[in-house]
Chains A and B, each alone.
Chain A
């Protein structure tokens, strides 16, 4: 089947996947529209004080451009704090720490990102966000199915199995969590280093089969 020449969607029609406990909601744009040349997503915070961009560095070398679509946000960009009303663009180079908190209710930020000098590769974290977003909205089985599809498509990548281990640990499935973590560590032992300090596994640390 050939792809359509174009796609149309309104911000209000995008999925809403809760990302973390601080109120951040991920609104997938790239995967909704099928964009391949760059990454793009929207993030919404319903209340002032909620997080609207996770504080992070881009370890995979992406530069990112944020546009405050509505509401108002306070960004951290390196050592600077930036008041960003609607219409503000914020550009962050890969090594620059960035994050934002909503300063008004219903704040939405559009993020566009890619890695300079190389063809864009779709970030696999999108699938992980979907799986955990489904879990946070009460669809545990839907989240698990999404992760299983990710693992089937990427059998040689430890990160998928590691995230599946986190998912099963979060849902109280100790044996499945440990099996996934072992599988991740077989592919790359760094999975165990990460697990040693990952609070997702705190409830499993005393389990006799826990590998870390």
Chain B
């Protein structure tokens, strides 16, 4: 739907002075990915290191635009000073990229898409709204969001894994273990992550806890 909003109205606090605005989701944009990331203080990571080949990524070429403040980007080891008004376009999906705020109140807008293909949201982005509730400890809201996602895609191991995290942290041990087991059946690679994931510490000693089973699936990415 057509409409307008100021970036400050859309910002969700991720904790520790970092914020995220789900621009694409807010407006229901269907043809490209677009989000904004904010840092209240210099020194904060504003775009987490990632490439666009990893699991959960969209395989997108990405355009970063510094709309306020100043950031230092690192792309494939190259440092780029990026004052307000700078565009950094990363076309190489394999390029490792990240950005750190150099000034208080830095905002970076990221747009992305896959050349030659119609846009589809990345798995990371589907999970991301629910993951914002972890920062505020609102696990019930995260659970609601994951249940909405699972109604759409019941066999998505990333959603099941993250759902398990939220259930574990909210004390719903039996359901947490059941969903974690289902995630591991669908994608055994999550076992390594679960073995170190503090989200499962509340239920790790339960005899039903799958063994051996850190961070939430996909939480390391910031993208379009």
User: Which A residues are within 8 Å of any B CB, using their own CB?
Assistant: 3-12, 29, 33-38, 40, 62-63, 65, 67, 69, 75, 77-78, 82, 84-85, 87-93, 96, 98, 110, 112-120
Minimum distance in angstroms from B49 CB to a CB of chain A: 14
Closest to A114 in B: B31
Known: A7-B87, A7-B89, A8-B82. 12 other contacts (CB 8 A): A11-B86, A12-B85, A33-B87, A36-B115, A37-B112, A37-B114, A38-B111, A87-B67, A88-B4, A112-B34, A113-B31, A115-B31
User: Is B60 at the interface (CB under 8 A from chain A)?
Assistant: yes
23 contacts between A and B (CB under 8 A): A5-B76, A10-B87, A11-B85, A29-B63, A29-B87, A34-B89, A35-B89, A35-B91, A37-B60, A38-B32, A38-B111, A63-B31, A82-B4, A87-B8, A89-B7, A89-B10, A91-B2, A91-B27, A92-B2, A110-B109, A112-B32, A113-B32, A120-B31
A93 and B2 contact, Cβ closer than 8 Å, known pairs A6-B75, A8-B86, A117-B30: yes
Inter-chain contacts of A38 with B (CB < 8 A): 31-32, 111, 113, 119
Minimum distance in angstroms from A201 CB to a CB of chain B: 34
Please count how many residues in chain B sit with their CB below 8 Å of the partner chain's CB atoms: 51
Inter-chain contacts of B124 with A (CB < 8 A): none
A9 and B67 contact, Cβ closer than 8 Å, known pairs A37-B60, A118-B118: no
Contact of A91 among B4, B76, B112 (CB under 8 A): B4
How many angstroms between the C-alpha atoms of A84 and B9 in the bound complex?
13
Give the residues from 1 to 23 in chain B that come closer than 8 angstroms, CB to CB, to chain A.
1-8, 10, 23
Question: Which of B23, B78, B85, B112 is packed against the most chain A CB atoms within 10 Å?
Answer: B85
- Whether B30 pairs with A5 at a CB distance below 8 angstroms is no
Inter-chain contacts of B88 with A (CB < 8 A): 6-8
Closest to A96 in B: B2
A67 and B31 contact, Cβ closer than 8 Å, known pairs A6-B75, A6-B90, A89-B4: no
User: Is B199 at the interface (CB under 8 A from chain A)?
Assistant: no
User: Which B residues are within 8 Å of any A CB, using their own CB?
Assistant: 1-8, 10, 23, 27-32, 34, 60-61, 63, 65, 67-68, 75-76, 78, 80, 82-83, 85-92, 94-95, 97, 107, 109, 111-119
Inter-chain contacts of B112 with A (CB < 8 A): 37
- Whether A119 pairs with B117 at a CB distance below 8 angstroms is yes
- Whether B89 pairs with A6 at a CB distance below 8 angstroms is yes
How many angstroms between the C-alpha atoms of A117 and B115 in the bound complex?
13
Inter-chain contacts of B97 with A (CB < 8 A): 6
Closest to B81 in A: A8
Contact of B67 among A65, A67, A91 (CB under 8 A): A67
Closest to A77 in B: B2
- Whether A89 pairs with B80 at a CB distance below 8 angstroms is no
Inter-chain contacts of B92 with A (CB < 8 A): 3-6
A75 and B4 contact, Cβ closer than 8 Å, known pairs A10-B86, A36-B116, A114-B31: yes
- Whether B6 pairs with A78 at a CB distance below 8 angstroms is no
- Whether B89 pairs with A119 at a CB distance below 8 angstroms is no
- Whether B2 pairs with A114 at a CB distance below 8 angstroms is no
Minimum distance in angstroms from B20 CB to a CB of chain A: 14
Closest to A88 in B: B6
